């Protein structure tokens, strides 16, 4: 990698920094973290970058990079890998529109220094866990990466640390979807897994997402232990083991892909629906990993798939979209335009690491209509539950063991559908790791003798075991376009979601209906459910402080009346012991749910992955007062007025801080 070194002037940048701190332009914590990085890294270029920022008076950039040391949280790490300001050393020989040659330096940034700490801490915990469980062997770690800036570099670096420290590492031969990492970890019976991704975040971000031996993201008790190991590390130096103690690196390629695809086919409940129904679909992977599995899968299932050529290229700049997030209508705009041009029946898009899926479908009026994550999840949950009953998989005698899992901030529409069929519902905190944790629990309840070789059993056999001895997971999802309909992956799966949606679409066609017709029928049966998900974006050090203060203000000064309606109930997940429907204690979290007497409710929580404080608004109306469209409009209007009130109140709270 070519680097252009900035001349070292030996100017007294430390004095300039101290003066900036004294003047209040640089936070004291930023100054401390700058010294922490310089004391803890062996990379001599770090000081040159800091000196350049100081000499250029880039105080805001210094605060954003150093206001904290990025902590290893319950999901791993995520942060900027390209600074708002890119120094000459970081830019190197790259052009302004290209990726810089090196990640941005900073304790609050995603770079090799912080990646080093994360990987070493994870390895340290896994080794201790194996010793404690009486397994004196080399740990096995699976590593995957997406198409983001530095993801491939980070993956190779993690692999090297693994082998240097005595772990066998399995690395994919190119970018792969996050759910395939979860699948591969289970198949290889590995001890841990890592994906280098920031999912749907903007192109300047990257992250380190950690998994444990069940294939799910890390949760307690392992999460706390790993966090302690990582956060205790302040240096990027480590002692490489002698050759005889090192681990071995292995490459994962097409064989694992085919194994995964074979399992994905088992998600189909009625493959016959796809016979002789060659629907035309436009697909975009938004410059990410999805095309690797989705395109061949759809074509093998009989779909006429047309891709958005300018978005096929795996490019971490995501040059054709503002944000590679299928939650955003703008991300699917090119695909929708192509669908109109070629007369496609649907548009499907997945995010860069292919764990989320967004869709647009042609409605009864012939127009392309975007569906929300709540609508997509409700439709797929309804279809799968009803079909399981029709096939006799779920019966009156065993339906008490069937379960749908959703998050607290996912629509109550799914609850209404599941309860109609007598299927249980469990609510979890936001984050698919909590759904994965439930799946681990359900697997472990099966008697040990019965679940021998569980991960290799056909899907029909695992379903039978869960229905007899445990809980049968029929569907799981969250409003942010993440869904799961299988047990062999323990995270949201964009690839599997495409398969489920393809079958739902084929079912609608078999009935002579549009997907939107099915949604209207559910509204007629269960009522009109609508949601509004929005957020306030507050970036950098100042933004993080304001987000923290705002969420605390809701807890310390809860509202009593909102948008003309008295508050009926408040659930404060940071103060109360709240239990889920199975009696499990919900971990404490900075989330508050407010129920109004008029039936509306909302939740507010800081994002764990982006500089946002998120608001989730929920409304419900009768199906026909006087008609369905009028009911939809009335519920939507009630949510819009609620948001106007909440937004004004939020800024008022921040101004008063």
> Pick from 249, 140, 120, 132: which is nearest to 187 by CA?
140
Q: What distance in Å separates the CA atoms of residue 94 and residue 100, rounded to the nearest whole number?
A: 6
The closest alpha carbon to 476, from 380, 543, 565, 555, belongs to 380
8 Å CB contact between 347 and 333: no
Report helix, strand or coil for 644: helix
458 Cβ partners below 8 Å, 6+ apart?
266
Shortest CA distance to 326 belongs to which of 352, 308, 294? 352
Q: Are strands 346-350 and 357-362 parallel, antiparallel or unpaired?
A: antiparallel
Radius of gyration of the chain (CA): 25
How far apart (Å, rounded) are the C-alpha atoms in residues 513 and 458?
Answer: 33
Which positions are annotated as active-site residues?
A: 199
Structure-token match 């869960």, residue found:
466
Is the CB of residue 213 less than 8 Å from the CB of residue 235?
Answer: no
Look up residue 112 and give its two tokens: 């090799």
Strand order in the sheet with 402-407: 424-428, 402-407, 472-478, 482-484
249: three-class secondary structure by DSSP: strand
Which residue carries 């050529």 as its tokens?
A: 309
Q: How many CB atoms lie within 10 A of CB 310?
A: 13
Q: What angle do CA 646, 651, 655 make, to 5 degrees?
A: 145
Residue with tokens 């770090």: 46
């Amino acid at each position: 990698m070519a680097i252009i070194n900035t001349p070292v002037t030996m100017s007294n940048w430390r004095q300039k920094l101290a003066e900036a701190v004294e003047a209040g332009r640089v936070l004291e914590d930023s100054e401390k973290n700058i010294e922490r990085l310089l004391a803890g890294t062996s990379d001599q270029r770090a000081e040159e970058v800091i000196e350049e920022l100081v000499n250029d008076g880039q105080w805001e950039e210094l605060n954003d990079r150093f206001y904290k040391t990025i902590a290893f949280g319950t999901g791993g790490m995520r942060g900027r890998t390209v600074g708002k300001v890119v120094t000459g050393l970081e830019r190197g020989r790259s052009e302004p529109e290209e990726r810089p040659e090196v990640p941005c330096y900073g304790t609050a940034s995603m770079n090799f220094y912080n990646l080093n700490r994360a990987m070493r801490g994870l390895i340290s915990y896994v080794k201790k866990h194996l010793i404690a469980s009486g397994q004196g062997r080399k740990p096995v770690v699976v590593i995957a990466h997406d198409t983001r800036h530095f993801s491939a570099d980070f993956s190779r670096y993690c692999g090297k640390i693994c082998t240097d420290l005595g772990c066998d590492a399995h690395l994919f031969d190119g970018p792969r979807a996050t759910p395939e990492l979860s699948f591969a970890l289970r198949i290889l019976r590995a001890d841990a897994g890592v994906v280098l991704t920031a999912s749907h975040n903007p192109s300047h971000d990257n992250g380190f997402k950690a998994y444990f031996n069940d294939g799910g993201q890390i949760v307690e008790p392992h999460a706390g232990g790993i966090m302690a190991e990582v956060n205790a590390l302040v240096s990027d130096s480590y002692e490489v083991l002698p050759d005889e103690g090192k681990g071995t690196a292995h490459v994962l390629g097409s064989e694992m892909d085919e194994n995964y695809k074979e399992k994905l086919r088992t998600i189909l409940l009625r493959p016959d629906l796809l016979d002789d129904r060659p629907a035309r679909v436009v697909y975009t992977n938004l410059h990410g990993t999805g095309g690797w599995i989705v395109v061949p899968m759809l074509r093998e299932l009989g779909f006429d798939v047309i891709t958005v050529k300018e978005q096929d290229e795996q490019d971490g700049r995501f040059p054709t979209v503002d944000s590679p997030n299928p939650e955003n209508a703008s991300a699917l705009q090119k695909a929708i335009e192509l669908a109109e041009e070629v007369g496609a029946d649907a548009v499907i898009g997945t995010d860069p690491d292919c764990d989320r899926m967004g869709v647009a479908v042609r409605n009864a009026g012939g127009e392309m209509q975007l569906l929300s994550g709540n609508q997509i999840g409700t439709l797929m949950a309804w279809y799968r539950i009803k079909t399981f009953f029709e096939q006799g998989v779920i019966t009156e005698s065993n339906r008490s063991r069937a379960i749908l899992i959703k998050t607290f901030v996912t629509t109550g529409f799914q609850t209404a559908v599941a309860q109609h069929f007598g299927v249980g519902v469990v609510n979890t905190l936001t984050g698919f790791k909590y759904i994965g944790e439930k799946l681990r629990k359900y697997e472990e309840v099966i008697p040990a003798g019965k679940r021998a070789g569980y991960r290799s059993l056909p899907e029909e056999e695992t379903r039978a075991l869960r229905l007899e001895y445990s809980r049968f997971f029929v569907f799981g999802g969250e409003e942010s376009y993440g869904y799961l309909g299988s047990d062999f992956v323990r995270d949201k799966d964009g690839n599997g979601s495409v398969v489920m949606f393809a079958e739902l679409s084929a079912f609608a066609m078999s009935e002579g209906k549009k997907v939107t017709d099915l949604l209207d029928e559910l509204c007629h049966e269960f009522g009109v459910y609508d949601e509004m998900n929005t957020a306030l974006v507050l970036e950098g050090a100042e933004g993080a402080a304001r987000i923290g203060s705002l969420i605390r203000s809701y807890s310390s000064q809860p509202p009593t009346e909102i948008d003309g309606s008295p508050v009926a109930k408040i659930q404060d997940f940071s103060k109360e012991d709240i239990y889920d429907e199975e009696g499990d204690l919900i971990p404490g979290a900075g989330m508050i749910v407010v129920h109004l007497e008029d039936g509306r409710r909302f939740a507010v929580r800081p994002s764990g992955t982006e500089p946002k404080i998120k608001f989730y608004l929920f409304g419900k109306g009768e199906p026909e007062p006087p008609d369905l469209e009028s009911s939809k409009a009335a519920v939507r209007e009630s949510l819009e007025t609620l948001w106007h009130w909440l937004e004004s109140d939020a800024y008022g709270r921040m101004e008063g801080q």
